[in-house]
Amino acid sequence: MANTSDIKNGVCMDLDGKLVQVIEFQHVKPGKGPAFVRTKLRNIETGRVVDHTFSAGHKIDIIRIENRQYQYLYQDGAFYVFMNTETYEQVNIDPKMIDKQDFLKEGIIVNILFHAGEEMPLVVELPQFLETEVTYTEPGIKGDTATNTMKPATIDTGAEVRVPLFIDTGDKIKVDIEKGVYVERIKD
């Protein structure tokens, strides 16, 4: 069994019967009193982030997880179907395991975290950037490049992002999935 000195970003552990992942941690040694570890934990099942403080030396139950690459194939009813890029094994994933589902695009490569002991998928992590095509936006006006004014645009995954005025329907753009924002136009 591990203790608080083993806490690092990305570590998964069992906390009161719930699987949580460490997002942030800080070891604190105040001038008076015992040391402690302040953490931000994400509940893997619900996605909810909570603050939790451990006293120094507290025993924790670290869970071994594996990170595997999968390719998104299609949506089958209520589930999303992904294929392992090495073994071609397919797995159905519940939508609640995926943040930013509206950026899922057929053929995109994602990382799926698996509970190594139970072979159970836990979280689907989308890549940081997505190259996509604008399917609809209001027409741009020639010369509208000097201002930072943005307009809404729908991309081919169905998500809506804000783009500069010079972007037109049919343009290929790069989107930051984490923030849900336009990054740059892709030149052909």
CATH number of the structural domain 130-185 = 2.40.50.140
Same fold, 65-125 and 130-185: yes
Helices (H), the chain: none
CATH of the structural domain 2-63, one choice from 2.30.30.30, 3.40.50.11540, 3.30.499.10, 3.40.50.300? 2.30.30.30
Report domain extents, the chain: 2-63, 65-125, 130-185
Q: Is the pLDDT of residue 1 over 80?
A: no
Q: Is the pLDDT of residue 141 over 70?
A: no
CATH class of the 65-125 domain in this structure: mainly beta
C-beta separation of 82 from 121 below 8 A = no
**Res 146: pLDDT:** 61
Q: What is the pLDDT of residues 27-78, one digit of tens each?
A: 989 888 899 999 999 888 777 889 999 998 889 988 888 889 999 999 988 9
Other residues' Cβ atoms within 10 Å of the Cβ of residue 42: 18
Q: What is the pLDDT of residues 83-108, one digit of tens each?
A: 999 999 999 998 888 888 899 999 99
**Res 144: pLDDT:** 59
Q: What is the pLDDT of residues 142-161, one digit of tens each?
A: 665 666 788 899 999 999 99
Task: Tell me phi and psi for residue 81, to 5 degrees.
Answer: -105, 125
Q: What is the pLDDT of residues 113-140, one digit of tens each?
A: 888 888 888 888 899 999 999 999 988 6
